[in-house]
Amino acid sequence: MKPLLEALWYILPAYFANASPVVFKGKTPMDFGRKFRDGRRILGDGKTWRGFLGGLLTGTLIAAIQYCLTPDFYGSLDTALKLGFALSLGALLGDLIGSFIKRRMGMPRGYPAVGLDQWGFLIVALILAYPIKTLSTGQVLFLLAVTPFIHWAANILAHKLGWKNVPW
């Protein structure tokens, strides 16, 4: 596989984990409606348990499918599942950190935060996945460069499909 294609193949579970909560969207917010000491919500109603667990499951399942298609890329199913889980968990945690920061800045749920929305999930996913399977510096830079465009296109699609109220 070409290195750039390989990088996209590697990160796919993180993309799915980041995007699938919009389909799963649950009711119970992860902060249980609680407020931070600044009087604003800790995370907000956009981060639910169902979305989080659904994202974790979807991302890990994608890695299992990827293993069936390219077993040599992963070496073993165990590695593929661990990588898929780490990428998904990282993507979801990165998204939560993003929401926490947005709430601290007084931004309401769904408000676009350029940079945070596109890179937060990616960076934490890359950090958690790194010990399981590494990418080259060039591949990491490539993902940092293309992810905002992919994120943007995926959100427009989700909006057109009626899954999201706002196209960002």
In the complex, least distance from residue 109 CB atom to ligand CTP, rounded to whole angstroms: 4
Q: Does 109 help bind ligand CTP (rule: CB under 6 A)?
A: yes
Residue nearest to ligand CTP (CB): 51
Q: Would you say 17 and 59 are in contact if contact means Cβ atoms under 8 Å apart? A: yes
Residues 6+ apart with CB under 8 A from 31: 41, 42, 43, 44, 47
Q: Which is nearer to ligand CTP, 51 or 90 (CB)?
A: 51
Q: Does 90 help bind ligand CTP (rule: CB under 6 A)?
A: no
Q: Pick the binder of ligand CTP from 13, 21, 59, 90 (CB under 6 A).
A: 21
In the complex, least distance from residue 92 CB atom to ligand CTP, rounded to whole angstroms: 6
d(CA 38, CA 29): 19
Q: Which is nearer to ligand CTP, 13 or 51 (CB)?
A: 51
In the complex, least distance from residue 111 CB atom to ligand CTP, rounded to whole angstroms: 5
Partners of residue 29 on adjacent β-strands? 48
Q: Does 102 help bind ligand CTP (rule: CB under 6 A)?
A: yes
Q: Would you say 14 and 88 are in contact if contact means Cβ atoms under 8 Å apart? A: yes
Q: List the structure tokens of 122.
A: 């990616």
In the complex, least distance from residue 45 CB atom to ligand CTP, rounded to whole angstroms: 7
d(CA 70, CA 58): 18
Q: Pick the binder of ligand CTP from 6, 26, 140, 146 (CB under 6 A).
A: 26
d(CA 158, CA 4): 25
